Amino acid sequence: MTAPAHTRTANVDPHEHTAYPPLERGRVAARLVGGGLLLALALTLVGRFVTGVLTPSALTRWEDSVNKWFVDQRTPTFDLATHIGSYLAETVTCIALLVVMVVVLRAWLGRWRESWAVFAAIVGELLVFLVVTALVDRARPGVPHLDAAPPTSSFPSGHVGAAVALYGCLAVIAYREVRNRALSTVLVTVCCVVPVVVAISRVYRGMHHVSDVVFGAVGGGLWLLLVVTTLLALPRRAVDSSPLDLRPDASTDSASRVG
In angstroms, how far is the first alpha carbon of the chain from the final one? 28
| Residue 154 belongs to domain spanning | 21-235+244-250
Residue 256, domain member (yes or no): no
pLDDT of 258: 33
**Is 4 part of a structural domain of the chain?**
no
**Spatial CB neighbours of 162, under 8 Å, sequence gap ≥ 6:** 89, 91, 94, 122, 125, 126, 129, 220
| Residue 231 placed within a domain | yes
Q: Is residue 145 part of a domain?
A: yes
- Give exposure, 109-143, as e/b (b: 16+ Cβ within 10 Å): bbbbbbbbbbbbbbebbbebbebbbebbebebbeb
pLDDT along the chain (259 residues), means of 10: 42 45 80 97 98 96 98 98 97 96 96 95 96 95 92 93 98 96 97 98 98 98 97 57 42 38
Q: What is the pLDDT of residue 208?
A: 97
pLDDT of 1: 45
Q: Is residue 33 part of a domain?
A: yes
Asked whether residue 11 is domain-assigned, the answer is: no
Q: What is the H or E stretch that residue 97 is in?
A: helix 91-109
Report the alpha-carbon distance of residue 113 to residue 251 in Å, rounded.
21
Query: Is the residue at 2 inside a domain?
Result: no
How many structural domains does the chain have?
Answer: 1
Residue 62 placed within a domain: yes
